[in-house]
Structure 1
Amino acid sequence: MTKLLFIKASPRGAESKSGALASAYLARLQETSPGIETDILDLSQEALPDYDGDKVAAKMNVITGQDQNNPQRSAWDQISSLAQRFIAADIYLIASPMWNGSIPYRLKQYIDLIHQPGLLWGLEPETGYFGLLENKRAVLALTSGAYGPEMPSPAFGVDYQSSYLRFWLNQAGVKNIAELRFQPSLLTQDPEGDFQAAIARAQTLAS
């Protein structure tokens, strides 16, 4: 059975345009693929642990092949549990607004927690990083208030949102990535019309 992990990065709940865009994609996908299993991860509601010194030490010990002490082992078990939920999915549906040119801090915290050696990536001294995820795909539902690809940059912002998410997913081994955009939502003359057009694009992609 195909598993989809729906990651919501916005804390705005029902007011979130990125969440609504992703939900439109998911609803159509569920119509066309009724057997799909959906796991919803709302980062504004999820109790994410701090990425503290024990977790950093545990990561470095994994990289260098050293033993972990009890606090580090406990920290690594916590990280592994979070990462396994991500690894178990076949499709990643990530709904994210743009915050200060990049992604919300809770999404970055989640990525920092799960993007770990031996879980999502490996490293060869001579050739560099390689991803451990295989046969996965991702859909990014991206929104912003003032930035848009057609707007002059950097006057209206710089896109570290999609570029960062693509970099992270690529490093983990996810190469099949599609984007759904509603940008810029505050500068268009007909924002509702543009949003409905974005919804239609999401439904077409899911079909």
Structure 2
Amino acid sequence: MSNAILLHLDSSILGDHSVSRQVSAAIVARLTQADPALKVVYRDLAAEPLPHATPASMPADHPLSGGKGDAASQQALDAFLAADIVVIGAPMYNFSIPTQLRAWIDRILVPGKTFAYGADGAVTGLAGNKRVIVALARGGHYADPGFATAAEHAETYLRWVFGFIGITPEFIAADGIAAGQREAALEGALRSAAELKAA
């Protein structure tokens, strides 16, 4: 058993109707079943949203804040830094992630904390010791690479942004929710969550 910390984030605005919330909860249930000693820290980014980014709303650790910063933003960064596992419920709205989730990401991309620039300009990710699992819910299907490249800015964005800080995220996707396949998509995603590798 471990004393690891699991940070669980939801960002859907749909409450109990949300597919991503159901799948993220199933992922957390699977991981806590495998390791009952996991400490779970939960934040609902839709119910408790961070404001849009301004210098004053950044964490104190962010250079833009001038060393002052916002307490809630610093808490969000500290919670991410303390976590060993991060589970994120991420629906795709209008081909991208919710603005609430984007505001949270603005708080965790902090030079010197989660990434660093080298003398030659190369970026080093500093958060590579974390596991990130994303419960992704999308209305359509994005299996076609050309269409996904042009229209999908949720999984593609999250892969890039977490890769930037040294993390290769895992995804469990429920696709086709708005295309008459909600139940099948949810069932498949919940099955994948139940079969998720615990460590």
Distance 1:28 1:59 in 2: 34
1:9 aligns with 2:2: no
Give the aligned CA root-mean-square deviation in angstroms: 2.6
Aligned to 2:98: 104
Distance 2:178 2:134 in 1: 20
Aligned to 1:80: 74
State the TM-score, normalizing by the size of structure 2. 0.85
Aligned to 2:193: 202
Following TM superposition, the consecutive aligned residue runs of length 4 or more in structure 1 with deviations greater than 3 angstroms are: 53-56, 76-81
Equivalent of residue 111 in structure 2, options 104, 110, 117: 117
Matches within 5 A, 1:161-180: 161-175=154-168, 177-180=169-172
Matches within 5 A, 1:28-107: 28-54=30-56, 62=63, 72-75=66-69, 79-107=73-101
Distance 2:86 2:119 in 1: 29
Distance 1:150 1:185 in 2: 17
Distance 1:28 1:202 in 2: 7
Amino acid at match of 1:37: K
- Is 1:141–1:180's contact at 8 Å kept on the other side of the alignment? yes
- Is 2:8–2:41's contact at 8 Å kept on the other side of the alignment? yes
Query: CA separation of 1:54/1:27 partners in 2, compared to 1, >3 Å: closer, same or farther?
Result: closer
Query: CA separation of 1:50/1:205 partners in 2, compared to 1, >3 Å: closer, same or farther?
Result: same
Q: Percent identity?
A: 26
Aligned to 2:130: 136
Distance 2:145 2:175 in 1: 10
CA drift of 1:77 comes to 6.2
CA drift of 1:79 comes to 4.1
Query: CA separation of 1:75/1:182 partners in 2, compared to 1, >3 Å: closer, same or farther?
Result: same
CA drift of 1:114 comes to 2.4
- Is 2:127–2:165's contact at 8 Å kept on the other side of the alignment? yes
Q: Give the total of aligned pairs.
A: 195
Stretches of structure 1 that go unaligned for 5 or more consecutive residues are none
1:126 aligns with 2:114: no
Stretches of structure 2 that go unaligned for 5 or more consecutive residues are none
Query: CA separation of 1:77/1:43 partners in 2, compared to 1, >3 Å: closer, same or farther?
Result: closer
Distance 2:133 2:92 in 1: 16
**Higher mean Cα deviation, 118-127 or 72-81?**
72-81
Distance 1:73 1:6 in 2: 28
Structure whose alpha-carbon radius of gyration is higher: 1
- Is 1:4–1:89's contact at 8 Å kept on the other side of the alignment? yes
Query: CA separation of 1:192/1:47 partners in 2, compared to 1, >3 Å: closer, same or farther?
Result: closer
Q: Deviations over 1:135-186 (max 9, x none)?
A: 21111110111243259727xx7221111111111111213x2110100112
Query: CA separation of 1:28/1:54 partners in 2, compared to 1, >3 Å: closer, same or farther?
Result: closer
Aligned to 2:182: 191
Query: CA separation of 1:151/1:13 partners in 2, compared to 1, >3 Å: closer, same or farther?
Result: farther
Amino acid at match of 2:171: E
